[in-house]
Amino acid sequence: MPQFMNPINQVLLAGLIGSIGGITRSIVGLLKARLIKREINLRYWLITQGVSCVIGGFMGIIFNFDWRISLLAGYAGLDLIEGIYKSFKSQKVIVKAA
């Protein structure tokens, strides 16, 4: 990032780039949902985009505002959080030792 940008603009830009990573991931998901004729939940999509913006922004801050980290964090970080959410959403099976 250019050094002449103020910190607020750097954070906003990192968040925007993180959102672009999330949008890229969501386009793949939307195409997949269309292929298997699955219903698309707009509210869920909007929430995941907000999360990818936040993740990309934070990772951009942590890693010295590197746009590549923000983009990757928006893409992969959202996938990680979605996987964690789905694991808690599903019912757990407890196996007891004999």
pTM beyond 0.85: no
Domain for residue 30, yes or no?
yes
- Position 20 scores a pLDDT of 85
**What is the distance between the alpha carbons of residues 53 and 19, in angstroms, rounded to a whole number?**
4
Residue 96 lies in a domain: no
Q: Which pLDDT score is estimated for 79?
A: 75
Is residue 2, in this structure, part of any structural domain at all?
Answer: no
Residue 68 domain-assigned? yes
40: in domain: yes
**Which pLDDT value is given to residue 90?**
64
Asked if residue 98 belongs to a domain, the reply is no
In total, how many domains does the chain have?
1
Compute the distance between CA of residue 82 and CA of residue 34 in angstroms, rounded to an integer: 19
Give the Cα separation of 56 and 67 in Å (integer): 9
- List per-residue pLDDT tens for the chain, 98 residues long: 556 667 778 778 887 888 888 888 888 878 888 888 888 788 887 887 778 778 777 777 787 767 788 888 888 877 777 777 777 776 666 667 76
Residue 84 belongs to some domain of the structure: yes
Q: What angle do CA 65, 66, 71 make, to 5 degrees?
A: 110
Task: Please report whether residue 38 resides in a domain.
Answer: yes
> Could you tell me the residue range of the domain that residue 78 belongs to?
7-89
